[in-house]
Structure formats: C-alpha cells, structure tokens
Amino acid sequence: MSTRLAYFPGCSQHGTGREFDESIRAIAGRLDLQLDEIPEWACCGATPAHAIDPAADRALGRWNLGQAAKCGDVPVMTGCASCFARLRSARAHAGSDQRILHIAQVLGEPAMRERLKAAVVRPLTGVKVACYYGCLLTRPAGPDAIDDAENPRLLEDLAGLLGATAIDFPLRLDCCGASLALARPDIVHRRSGRLLAMAQARGAQALVVACPLCHSNLDFQQVAAMQAVGAQGEIPVLYLTQLVGLALGLEARQLGLQRHFVDVPALVGA
Amino acid sequence: MARIGVFICHCGENIARTVDCSSLAKAVLGIPGVRFAVDYKYTCSDPGQQMILAAIREQRLDGIVVAACSPSMHEATFRKAAMIAGLNPYLCEVANIREHCSWVHDDKPAATAKSLDLIRIMVEKVKRNQELKPIKVPITRRALVVGGGISGIQSALDLANAGIPVALVEREPSIGGHMAQLSETFPTLDCSQCIMTPRMVEVAQHPLITLHTYSEIEKVDGYIGNFTVTVRKKARSVDLKKCTGCGTCMQKCPQKKLPSSFDAGLGQRTAIYVPFPQAVPNKPVIDRANCTRFTTGRCGVCQKVCGPGAIDFEQQDELVEEKVGAVVLATGFQLYGIGEQSEKMLKGYPEYGHGHIKDVIDGMQFERLASASGPTAGEIRRPSDGTVPKTVVFLQCVGSRDPAKGISYCSKICCMYTAKHTILYKHKVHDGKAVVFYMDIRAAGKGYDEFTRRAIEDDGALYLRGRVSRLYQDGGQVVVSGVDTLSGRNVELRADLVVLATAVRPQPDARTTAQLFSVGYDASGFLNEAHPKLRPVETAAAGVFLAGACQAPKDIPESVAQASAAASKVQILFSKSELEREPTVARVHRAAPPLYSICQGCFACAGACPYQAIEHEELKDRRGQVIKTVARVNPGLCQGCGTCVATCRNKAVDLDGYTDDQVFAEIAALGAN
C-alpha cells in the first residue's frame, strides 16, 4: 500500500538543491511513497525570518501548515533541515498536532526500513561513507526530533541498510558554516574544510548529507574549503536520497548526480 | 458548657502588623464557649506562658486555643504550659494566624476577619477534644546499621562505644565503602586508607558489633523500639570460621581476568577474591557468576589447595533475625553510569564515549590510578597504553545540574575532588598539564576554597569555564571540543587522558530500601529526612535515622558528622526505659456485645496503610468462640496519617485527636459564618 505524504520541497529544492528534489521523487517511486506537493507553499522563512521578523516567521509558518492541511490528514515531509526546523517551530507555535517528518525519518520508520531493504538491487557493499548531520538536523532536541540530538544513529543505520559502511565520523554534528557562506566565506571554508579533511583522512569515499545548505558548502565550496585547511584531493558529497537511489539501481541522471561540482565517481558497479 | 480560653499572639510585629489583635480578642469573646480571650506580644515567652498558666487556673478553663505561629513551631511549648497548669496537653490547640494568615496577606481588616475564622475553627475542635495519654512502648536497646561505608562505620562505632550493641550489615564482601577506594582526601590530602582502615579494624574487633558482610536486608517487621529485621547472609562459599585468610586459593585460582569493581574496572581479580588487601573481614568470597566451578561444574582448585578445608561450594544463603530498637540507614551512593543507562530518565553521555574510548575515565577510576594500592601502584598511567599522560582534561558536572540529562541537583563533591585530582596529578607528573572545564566552582567548606585556589595558583591547573560538547579519539589522543564562556571562544584540546566528574546518584535499589523501612525518598531516589532543617537525620518512620550520602550527595566530613548525629539520636531514644509516643493514632471501633465492632474485616485499611500498622484481631464471645476478625491499629507503628480513616467504608476507624466529628465541626464552623 502506498504511503501518502504532503511534500514540502522548500526553496532550495527548486534552486541550488534541485538534485535533492529529483532524488527524493526518484526514490519515492521505487518505495511506493506518494508525494503530494503542498499547493502554493511559501518559503519557510529560513534563517532570516525568525531572526529578524518573528511576526513574518509565524505568518509563513501558519500559511504553510494551512496549505499542508489541504493535502488531507497526512504527515508533512521535507528534505531540508532548515525547512524541517521551521515547520516544527510553526507547529509548536500553532499548537497543532500535524506530524512533520524529515525524509530521513520517513525512511527510518520500521515498515519503510523493510521496504527499503527489499528494494535494494545494487547493495553498496564495501563503500565507506561519512554520515554528516550538520548542526540543525537533530536539533532542537525533543520528542519530534529525528533522533537523539547528541548521539544520532539514523543516517548510519540507513547507510548500513544499503550495504554501505558508515565510518566513525566525530565531526558529524559540527556546523558547516551555514549561511555565513555569503557574509564570511572564510569561516565556512575553515569549518567545511575541517569536516571534509577528516572524512577523507578517515577513509570515507563520500560524505552523505541531508541538508541543501550543507551540501552547497561542502560541494560547491569544496575547492576553497580544502585549500583553507591545507588538504588535498576531493571527496564527493551525496544527498542521503542519492545514496539510496544508487542502491535502488537508479541512474546517475535520475538522481541529478551530474549537477554536483565535485564529480561523483561510480561508487558501485552499475 | 465549655470554658475555653483564647490567647492571641502578636509575634512581635509578625502578626500584629496585619492582624488587629486587640479587636480580635474582643471579637473572639463572641464565639460560643469562649470564656476568656487576651492578646499578648510574645505568647511563647516566659511571661506569656505564665499568663496562660494563670488563666487556666483562675478561669478554670477546660480547653485553650493559642492563635500564633505554626503548630510545628510552638505547639509543644503551649501544650507543656497547659500540662503544668493541670490541663491535659491534648486540650490545647494552635490556630495558625501567622504562616496561614499574617505572612501571606496585607489587607488588615480582611486578615483580621480571617484570623477570627481560624480561631473559630479551632475553638470548635477544642470543644470536641478528648484527653489523650502518650502511648508507652518498650525499647530493645540494640541498633541496626545498614551500610558499612564511612557513615555506617562511624554510626556503628559511636553506638558501640556508648555501650549499645550494634548489628552492621554490609552488602559487599568487605566493609569500607567508597572511602576505602579513594587515594587522598580533600582539603588536607591525607591518605584515605590510612585514616579509614584503622576504623574498619576497630569495627571488626569491637565486642559489641556484630558484622554481617556480604549480606542484605530481606525483611523488616515491627516498629520504633521493637524492629525485627531479617538479614540474608549470602553464600560466601568460604567458611569464615575455618578460613585463615592465607590467600593460597586466590593465587591458584585459574580465573584471573575478571574486572575488579574495587579498582573501578581498571584492575583484575580472581573468581575467589578479597576485594582489596585491607578488607575486613580479610577473607575471600567466591564470585559464583564467574567461577568456573559454578559455571561449568569443573575446576575446584581452591578447594584442593585450601589447607583448613574452608571452601564450601554447597554453602547456602542464611537468614538471620536481628531484633533492634532503632535503625541507621547508611546505604551510600553510586556514580552516574555514563555509558549504558538502566533508567530511562537518565540519558547518559554517549557523546563522551565513556566505555568506548579507553582513555576517557570517571573520577573513581582516577582515584584508583592515583592510589598506592591501585592497579598502577599510584603512578598515573592511562588505561589504553600505560603511558604517563602529559595533558589531562577534567570535565566537571557530568550528569549533575543538567535536567536534560535527568539530574538537576549539584553533586557537591566533584568541584573539590577534581581540584584534588589536578593537585595529585601535578605532584606525580611535574611536567603535566591539567585542564578543568567547570560550570561554577562550588567550594564552600572549611579550607575548601583555599584548596581550589591552591590547585589553580600553586599547582597550575588551567580552569576553563564552559562545557564540552564532544570527545573523540584521534590517533593516540582524545580530542576535547568545548567552549570557554569567559573568553567567548571555542576550545579544542588534545588530551592524553580525560576524567569525567560524574554525578553522585542514590544506590540503584535505594527505593527498595526506603520501602522496606517505610522511609520516604525524593524524585531522584535519595532518602528523605523528616524535616530539611530541624530534623535532618530523622525520617518519617519513627526509629529510623539517616547517615551519609544515601540522603543527598555529601563529602566525608559531612557524612561522618551526620553519622555521629544519627548515633546520638539513637542514644537519646535508648536513654529512656520506655518510649513515649504521640497518642494521635488511629483506632478501630469497639463496642460491647452483641455489636463488638462495626468493622467488617475487609482490611482495605491494611492495603492503604503506608506503615503496616494494621493488624488482625479475632473478637471472641465469652465462650471463646471467634465472632469475627477485625482490624486493629498497632499504636507503636501508626504515624497518625489518617489514610485508613479515609479508606474505611464503614467509618469504623477514626483518628484520635483528629476525629471525623472534630473535622466536620471545624468545617461547619467556617460555613456557619
């Protein structure tokens, strides 16, 4: 039976993070997830709205929850860590009991894990990945968070389901520099560089992320980031859904892998 | 017609500021039954009491109400005055017009009117008061001390030295507790074992102390002055009478690699073992869960090599009954287990990798590293590779003061022992660097602040105010990533060893202990004292006292002081030949035949009673035939809480001094106005 979700793509999935949206839709087809895009969704407000104009933040939140309700009594799902945080906040302010889920949570639900395991046609055996949550995905802590704020296991578990090996990656909850990419790129380069260098030094073949802003900082800015910490070489950065897609036998173009700045080599034989 | 006197106290200004006491005294005279009313500045003072005495005699009063502070403050004072005047003390009541009125209101006319109501209520009660006589209970002059750490040892020795026989029960194979594990003690740096072990030996040699080690409390019956406690002496598999403590069995035991809990898991022991060289009794015990003989049926080497034939694989647990008049609970604490947590409310610190990263240890493990009797003979060597760490980072408040992790209280001892650790470390590793992450330095105590200053100023410990978010292994070192909130900067350090000052928690079975002895406990599981200020060693269960860290986190001097206090409380109790108890206890209805009692014997009260005070009584006719079995309240056990009264469907049980009749009259008095 197909699982219906009210899908909130968020601005970046229609822009710099298009391949996240493409890969979400691609794997949804394989996993029997029916995504109903929320009609006339608005920007979640991201970082600026709640920092500068709380009233605007609340208004955006109310609008989006209201629109989501038009999809019926189904959970709202998003792929972006920031949209996820803002929608949770909007739900709390509205006192609503709307379920807000991140795509990683959807994939991590017991029934979905079974479905996922069954759908793997190209197990990622022997592929070493560094699972990177970033600072926002597990926070704020609470019963509606995706996992434990300080010691999450969700991404590692999912990578394991696909046959990949998650390396011990202590910086997985550190900030990549986030929206300072515009104001203080030097900070972003330093922070992201550390992450990339550690993942590389610990033998990861790819970083796995679940946030479009992290992806932008780690992929688009990778050359500068590596330089900032004096590291060499490059390491591909994949969205969780792209990693899933590869294991499900989807093609690189279906998953938007060609859009990355750092080339994604064939991790597994096609 | 009642002749009741009312005495209204100004309490200096405490009451008079918001209650018009003189007009109140006039108004009170209008209450039916009140013959006399007067207001006075300090009723509790000697002239005030003399005034009460005189009025009782001159006015021939048959009941008095003192409108003053809380009865928990001065009820005893006024009842004593009444008694001197020849009035039964239980005919004196206190109307609380201070805490319940003047302190919480500021509108004078309203507060005065409320005071009048409070007095009216008490007058109606006093009219229905009965003369009560204190209950006399015989006393068994023998004490039980539960727990053989420093607190239990101190209590047991104080009592025994006062001539009181003591049974000391310790769960572990040896007494000594945590203090025996420590290296040095703050703030004087004297050697813990040097001051501890002579006391342990004193316990063992004292003719008045019966020591039950490797034993637990199975069952508690009875009441203050007359407890019967069943002690389970766990099978030691070694006959203590035959064993000479030569140690050959331990040398020959093939099972040598079990983690030593005395060394906090850093050292190893055999399956037949003495926990530490100075143990009392210094005789081994077989750890049956890990002994090859018990797990596979083979082996038995210890039995073969034992000259006196002391090894007894067939030994069974033994139940011993101890009859005692008082109990001191000194069951101690344990450290917050930061790895796997058994309790759901405690989230642990997986981000610190304890139990996972070898060079992340807890405070007790550091004590063992610093101890001359420890696994490294007192050299600071890290567990992973045995090298001497050159940078040691100490994290305070791991677990404590963090409601998100399940504990909101301060563990009190960690600031001091961490300062001690940095000093001990510097004394042993001169070129080493000690770094401490702290929230606040809490060093209140004699010589305590000086001690932390010494750690910082003389021994060069670097104190950083802030928390650590994560520890991770990188190469041979542990990366410490945290924040220094004073400079506002993130800090990243590479440490050779990290020591976590984990929170002090109650024993995991503290709640079970509390329930066995009918003692209260708080949300964390620490045992509750009867009053946080004025009765800090008593408990809600009469005759049961508290000592040491089972009540709250405490350091050694505090534990010892409380242990001595508990011992002297027991001595005060034992100084009388008979015990007098408050007669405000429950009573089950009795009547002449053919009614006998309106109690139907459903014993709903027995289930409701928190103190196991309900007994069964067979009512017999004059031929000795049992008519019915009904409830009876044991006045020695009853604490007068009244739960049984509320539970009884037949209204067959009532509380002396607080009868339903009295309580309804009080309510009616309020309603009538």
Distance CA A24, CA B52 (A): 87
Q: How far is A174 from chain B (nearest CA, A)?
A: 10
Percent of chain A at pLDDT exceeding 90: 88
Mean pLDDT of chain B: 94
Predicted pLDDT of residue A270: 43
CB–CB of A151 and B404 under 8 A? no
> What is the predicted pLDDT for the residue at B108?
96
The pLDDT score that the predictor gives to residue B344 is: 59
Sequence-ordered list of residues with C-beta below 8 angstroms from that of A104, at least 6 positions apart, any chain: A137, A146, A154, A155, A158, A210, A240
Domain termination residue (choose one: A107, A139, A155) = A107
CB within 8 Å: A148 and B350: yes
Q: How many CB pairs under 8 A join A and B?
A: 17
Put simply, the answer to whether B474 touches A170 (Cβ < 8 Å) is yes
Distance CA B482, CA B503 (A): 19
What pLDDT, in 10s, does the model give residues A128-148?
A: 999 999 999 999 988 889 998
Classified as helix, coil or strand, B501 is: strand
CA distance A43 to chain B (A): 32
What lies within 8 Å, CB to CB, of A145 at 6+ separation is A138, A139
Tell me if A152 is assigned to some domain. Answer: yes
Tokens of B527: 């045992």
Chain A, window 148-167: residues with a beta carbon less than 8 angstroms from a chain B beta carbon: 148, 150-151
- Within this chain, do residues A15 and A46 fall inside the same structural domain, yes or no? yes
Residue B673 has pLDDT above 60, yes or no: no
Domain boundary (B439, B471, B502) is at B502
Helix ranges, B477-548 (H): 510-516
H-run or E-run covering A57: helix A54-69
CATH of the domain at B84: 3.40.50
**Are A43 and A131 in the same domain?**
no
Could you give the number of structural domains in chain A? 2
Indicate whether A127 and A242 sit together in one domain: yes
B561 and B531 in a common domain: yes
Pick from B401, B396, B335: which is nearest to B368 by CA? B335
Q: Where are the beta strands (DSSP E) in B23-179?
A: 34-40, 63-68, 92-96, 135-138, 143-146, 166-169
Tokens linked to B295: 């797990």
Name, in order, each residue with C-beta under 8 angstroms of B591's C-beta and a sequence gap of 6 or more: B597, B598
A112's tokens? 């979905």
- Are A141 and B404 within 8 A, CB to CB? yes
Note the pLDDT of residue B342: 46
Contact B229, B322 (CB under 8 A): yes
Are residues B375 and B482 located together in one domain of the fold? yes
Which residues are registered as beta bridge partners of B464?
B437
Distance, in Å, from the CA atom of A8 to the CA atom of A11, rounded to the nearest integer, reads 9
What is the rounded distance in angstroms from the CA atom of residue B96 to the CA atom of residue B104?
A: 12
Structure tokens at B340: 């796997």
Encode chain A (270 residues) as per-residue pLDDT tens digits.
688 999 999 999 989 999 999 999 999 999 999 999 999 999 999 888 999 999 999 999 999 999 999 999 999 999 999 999 999 999 999 999 999 999 999 999 999 999 999 999 999 999 999 999 999 999 998 888 999 888 899 999 999 999 999 999 999 999 999 989 999 999 999 999 999 999 999 999 999 999 999 999 999 999 999 999 999 999 999 999 999 999 999 999 999 999 999 999 877 654
- What CA–CA distance (Å, rounded) separates B502 from B484? 20
Whether B345 and B436 share a structural domain: yes
| Closest CA relative to residue B135, chosen from B536, B575, B639 | B639
Query: Into how many domains does chain B fold?
Result: 5
Report chain B residues whose CB lies below 8 A from the CB of A191: none
Tell whether B513 and B545 lie within a shared domain.
yes
Contact A99, A88 (CB under 8 A): no
pLDDT, tens only, B42-96: 999 999 999 999 999 999 999 999 999 999 889 999 999 999 999 999 999 999 9
Which residues make Cβ contacts (< 8 Å) with residue A212, sequence separation at least 6?
Answer: A10, A12, A13, A16, A17, A20, A79, A80
User: Cβ separation of A150 and B350 shorter than 8 Å?
Assistant: yes
If asked whether residues B347 and B453 sit together in one domain, one would say yes
**Residue A208, in any domain of the structure:** yes
Q: Do A67 and A136 belong to one domain?
A: no
Q: Quick check: B508 contacting A, CB < 8 Å?
A: no
Give CA B324 to chain center in angstroms: 19
Domain extent, residue A169, equals: 123-248
Same domain assignment for residues A242 and A137: yes
Contacts 24+ apart (CB under 8 A), B350-354: B350/A148, B350/A150, B350/A151, B351/A150, B351/A151, B351/B469, B351/B470, B351/B471, B352/B395, B352/B398, B352/B468, B352/B470, B352/B471, B352/B498, B352/B500, B353/B471, B353/B472, B353/B473, B354/B500
Residues 6 or more apart whose Cβ sits within 8 Å of residue B388: B379, B380, B381, B382, B429, B432
Dump pLDDT digits (tens) for B228-243.
999 999 999 999 999 9
Q: Summarize pLDDT for B313-368 with one digit per residue, the tens.
A: 999 999 999 999 999 999 999 988 765 544 556 667 888 988 889 999 999 999 99
| Contact with chain A for residue B479, Cβ under 8 A | yes
Q: Could you tell me if A12 and A69 lie in one domain? A: yes
Mutual orientation of helices A240-247 and A154-161 as an angle, nearest 10°? 20
> Is the same domain home to B489 and B420?
yes
Residue A251 in contact with partner chain B when CB distance is under 8 A: no
Q: In CATH, what number is assigned to the domain containing residue A37?
A: 1.20.1050.140
Same domain (yes/no): B478, B522? no
Domain assignment present for A270: no
Structural domain contains residue B581: no
Q: Quickly list H helices, B342-409.
A: 363-370
Q: What is the pTM of this model?
A: 0.81
CB-based contacts of B658, cutoff 8 Å, min separation 6: B584, B640, B642
Q: Which of B351, B472, B474 sits opposite A150 (nearest CB)?
A: B351
For residues B88 and B217, membership in a common domain is answered with no
Query: Tens digits of per-residue pLDDT, B537-577?
Result: 999 898 999 999 999 999 999 999 999 999 999 999 999 88
Contact B404 A170 (CB under 8 A): no
What domain range is B610 assigned to? 586-656
In a domain, A133, yes or no: yes
Question: What pLDDT does residue B296 have?
Answer: 93
Do A141 and B479 lie within an 8 Å CB cutoff? no
Same domain, B154 and B213: yes
- For A45-83, the pLDDT digits (tens) are 988 899 999 999 999 999 999 999 999 999 999 999 999
Residues of A in contact with B469 (CB under 8 A): 150
Which chain A residues contact residue B470 at CB under 8 A? 150, 170, 173
A150 and A99, same domain (yes or no):
no
Is B339 in CB contact (< 8 Å) with chain A? no
Cα angle for residues A127, A130, A131 (degrees, 5° grid)? 115
B548, B542 contact by CB (below 8 A): no
The domain that holds A154 is classified in CATH as 3.40.50.11810
Cβ neighbours of B482 in A, within 8 Å: none
> ipTM of this model?
0.86
Q: Are the beta carbons of A170 and B472 separated by less than 8 Å?
A: yes
Nearest-by-Cβ selection for B351 from A141, A151, A168: A151
Query: Is there a domain that residue B136 lies in?
Result: no
